[in-house]
Amino acid sequence: MSELEQTKYNAIDNLKRLCARCSENLEHTCRIQNLIQEISGLRGIPVIVNDKLRHLVFN
């Protein structure tokens, strides 16, 4: 798993903890779920400098 994918996974995991329904993977509509979908849909080219993610070029 790339560092970008790991960062996305960590962000999604943290967001799921903010909503009880999201943490239980229930079907519903909330603002947190919308953010999770946006984050999971991010595609880009990571700019890595000295083995650290410094920037992301979205495509």
DSSP string computed for 3-47 = HHHHHHHHHHHHHHTT-HHHHTT-----HHHHHHHHHHT--EEEE
Share of the chain above pLDDT 70, in %: 93
Going by C-alpha positions, the residue among 48, 45, 27 that lies closest to residue 37 is 27
Residue 11 pLDDT level (bands cut at 50, 70, 90): very high
pLDDT tens for residues 34-59? 999 998 888 877 777 787 767 767 76
Domain spans in the chain, listed from the N-terminal domain onward: 3-56
Q: What is the mean pLDDT of residues 8-17?
A: 93
Supply the pLDDT for residue 1.
Answer: 63
pTM: 0.69
Mean pLDDT of 3-16: 88
Instruction: Please give the single-letter amino acid code of residue 58.
Output: F
